[in-house]
Chain A
Amino acid sequence: MSKIKSYEEINRKLKSGEAVVLTAEEVSRMALEATPEEIVEKVDVVTTATFGAMCSSGAIINFGHANPPIRMEKIRLNGVPCYEGLAAVDSYIGATACDPDNPTYGGAHVIQDLLEGKDIVLEAWGKGTDCYPRKYIKTTININTINELILFNPRNAYQNYNVAVNTTNKMIHTYMGTLLPGMRNATYSTSGELSPLLNDPEFKTIGIGTRIFLGGTQGFVVWPGTQFHTTKPKNELGIPVTNAATIAVMGNLKEMSSDYIQAAYFEKYGVSMFVGIGIPIPVLDVEMAKRVSVNNSQIQTSVLDYGTVGMPKLGEVTYEELRSGSIKVGGKKIRTAPVASLAKARKIAQELKEWLQSGNFEVSKPVQMFPQNTSLNSLKETEAGND
């Protein structure tokens, strides 16, 4: 009978400082010589991490009530539109939101400015009601004047992501960076063997309630992410070879750091936000030991042509090949470049490892596992569009 560990047992070891915590990269190196049976004996928790642009991110804000109060029905923060359909003074600012006249400054920049303690101009309009008589307010807010500031990202930490190339003869600008014509470069995003959802591809330990590193503080997985897709093509190890599952995450933005939350503007695409996420994976059994042992040569991803409608797949490559500096697609050698920061992801994995080792961070058993066998609907165009 091979070893099985419980969450309680691992947490006891973490508290007493006896637990062995490795990063996913360290355990992948260890696995070149150690068997899964040995790894489950020796290693208790493996830290995974990613730091990439995650467009489906944003923050819930409660501004507090002014006197006289206003029911905010149109809201701008430094000119960036925020959602106005949440009671009187609650709002949600999406990372990608922006004023079309000022497309390089968006919701992500407002979030970063708030994090860095800067003053933000709040402007809001209401129709005026008996209980909220005010019709207009213009004032400044900052991280200390507002009540809650909660990061809530509906879709983060994609389980694998595609490699982007451009077969056309024109340069194109995408969220995967600038793609040169004639497949003269290829960009990739995932942190490979260090990436959270590639180390637990079947979600045996990651689920609703999982405690994670989010933006420099403790956060939680609160739901499967939007576009949660578990039935995409997989390799022989059961790892998806294209973008598949995602997670929704939440945490107290007031405790986060601009080292791990970074606004970005992608040329001719728009605003996005780099988010730092780290997930501890408890090595509960041999199965999990096998999962966390995976290395870059065993993880494939799909090369897609971002220049052609429908993004046809041109091939498959491993993360080992992507990191080598060039890949071969259809016999052509293409230079590769990352668009997510492995250096930052490593820093996160290391920091999370230290939190765990110091006994200040527990691994948590999900209160609810994620659904299985999910797929996606595409948006159908009905006759309503012809009205």
Chain B
Amino acid sequence: MIKKRYILNFPPDSGDKAMSYHLVKDYDIRINILKAEVYPGKRGSLLLELQGKKENIELGVEYLVKQNVVCEPLDKRIHFQKEKCIDCGNCTAVCFAGALTMNKTTWELEFDKNKCVVCELCIPACPLKLFKIDFN
């Protein structure tokens, strides 16, 4: 069993397809919707956590891609300029998902992208503007 987060971008005509049903029923994947934005007639975006057997998740993602859904692992959509980070900690103040934390020994920032729920609070909270998240 593995757990992986993906950002899904749906084309305008996909509103009527019960894709999450198929993920659960056909591929035995446990899904958890962490964030959703739907613009009817235009597009929709979803942050989805998929939990299941590795091969099932791969097949499930393959199914989504066949339905013209852009499906990318979350960490590929989060851009953080680590080399410029000064470890001030401002982003950790707002990160309730626990993705951004200070290492209690070195007091350097640690970023576990797999815990991110794309609340996007870190983007304005960073005084150096080092975060960029591509959700839509």
Contacts and interface: CB of A to CB of B under 8 A. Distances in A.
B90 A177 contact: yes
Contact of A338 (B102, B106, B121, B125): B102
A178 B86 contact: no
A355 interface: no
Chain A interface: which size bin? 20 to 34
Contacts of A266: 127
B93 A185 contact: yes
A341 B127 contact: no
B96 to A, nearest CB: 8
A309 interface: no
**A interface SS class:** strand
Interface in A114-166: none
A339 B107 CA distance: 11
Nearest to B95: A337
Interface stretch (A29-37, A87-95, A342-350): A342-350
B17 interface: no
Given A264-B128, A266-B127, A341-B107, 19 more contacts: A104-B129, A177-B90, A178-B90, A178-B93, A180-B93, A184-B96, A185-B93, A264-B127, A265-B127, A265-B129, A267-B124, A267-B125, A274-B86, A274-B88, A337-B93, A338-B89, A341-B87, A342-B107, A343-B108
A325 B104 contact: yes
A206 to B, nearest CB: 25
A222 interface: no
Contacts of A177: 90, 93-94, 125
Contacts of A262: 86, 128
B100 to A, nearest CB: 9
Interface of B: 86-90, 92-94, 96, 102, 104, 106-108, 121, 124-125, 127-129
Contacts of B90: 177-178, 187, 337, 339
Nearest to A264: B127
Q: Which 7 A-B pairs give the minimum distances between C-beta atoms?
A: A337-B93, A264-B127, A338-B89, A342-B107, A267-B124, A343-B87, A337-B92
Nearest to B107: A342
Given A262-B86, A274-B86, A338 B107 contact: yes
Contacts of A267: 124-125
Most B C-beta atoms less than 10 A away, residue of A173, A262, A267: A267
Contacts of B129: 104, 265
B90 to A, nearest CB: 5
A180 B94 contact: yes
Contacts of B121: 178
30 contacts: A51-B86, A52-B88, A53-B88, A53-B127, A173-B124, A177-B90, A177-B93, A177-B94, A178-B94, A178-B121, A180-B94, A185-B93, A187-B89, A187-B90, A187-B93, A262-B86, A262-B128, A264-B128, A266-B127, A323-B104, A337-B89, A337-B90, A338-B89, A338-B107, A340-B88, A340-B89, A341-B88, A342-B87, A344-B87, A346-B107
A339 B94 contact: no
Given A178-B124, A262-B86, A267-B124, A343 B106 contact: yes
A110 B59 CA distance: 52
A364 interface: no
A272 interface: yes
A339 B90 CA distance: 5
Contact of A337 (B86, B102, B124, B127): B102
Contact of B107 (A179, A272, A343): A343
A343 B87 CA distance: 7
Contacts of A339: 88-90, 93
A178 B127 CA distance: 10
A29 B104 CA distance: 17
A274 B88 CA distance: 9
Interface string A261-281: 011111100001010000000
A104 B102 CA distance: 26
A263 B86 CA distance: 11
B63 to A, nearest CB: 39
A364 B31 CA distance: 65
A275 to B, nearest CB: 11
Contacts of B107: 338, 341-343, 346
